[in-house]
Amino acid sequence: MRKSILCGLIILVLTACLDKSPNKTESGQDELKSLELENPIDKEDIEYNDTMYVPIYSDIYFDEANQKTLLSATLSIRNTSYTDSLYVSKIDYFNTHGDLVKSYIDKTISLMPMATVNYVIEREDESGGAGANFIVNLSAKTNRIKPIVQAVMIGQSGNKGFSFATDGYSIK
């Protein structure tokens, strides 16, 4: 009996030490880094360019006393093309005051046809505030591409959970 309890505790301790970041691949590599292009894209090959604004709510007010509840947010960039890659050259996160909080990529990433990349803002991350947003730069070698950029926020207050989504808007 003692051995099974001891083994259970050892397993619990070891699994608690693992990096469980939602932005990691199964091999533990950062998802965005794993999609980076080694060589830049020739600008003459690009037919589609767009800049998307995506509203993010990292917290919302939920009662008359202006108490806020923290939310986790997932930015989702989806390539809807069956045949063409989508290139993402910027994913910048801004706070309520318009200050750059973080740039998520240094190199252009490539999304294969029908692929999706997600990035999670943890619930405990209050750096964005109620008016946070992402700016995402997209490009492709064809004008036929129609990417979808959205954010999904989830949270809870007491025993009630809630979720909602926002769409990205072209600001080019």
Please name the residue that has the structure tokens 């207050």: 157
Closest CA to 128 of 74, 56, 60: 56
pLDDT tens track, the chain, 172 positions: 555 444 444 444 444 444 444 445 454 445 556 666 666 677 788 999 999 999 998 887 776 666 778 889 999 999 999 999 999 999 999 999 999 999 999 899 999 999 999 999 888 888 888 889 999 999 999 999 999 999 999 988 778 888 999 999 999 8
Give the number of other CB atoms < 10 A from CB of residue 165. Answer: 12
Q: What residue segments make up the domains of the chain, in order of their start? A: 36-170
Q: What pLDDT is stored for residue 31 in this prediction?
A: 59
- Measured in degrees and rounded to the nearest 5, phi and psi for residue 43 equal -60, -25
pTM: 0.76
Please state, in angstroms and rounded to a whole number, the distance separating the CA atoms of residues 46 and 110.
Answer: 13
**CATH number for domain 36-170, candidates 3.30.365.10, 3.90.1010.10, 3.60.110.10, 2.60.290.11:** 2.60.290.11
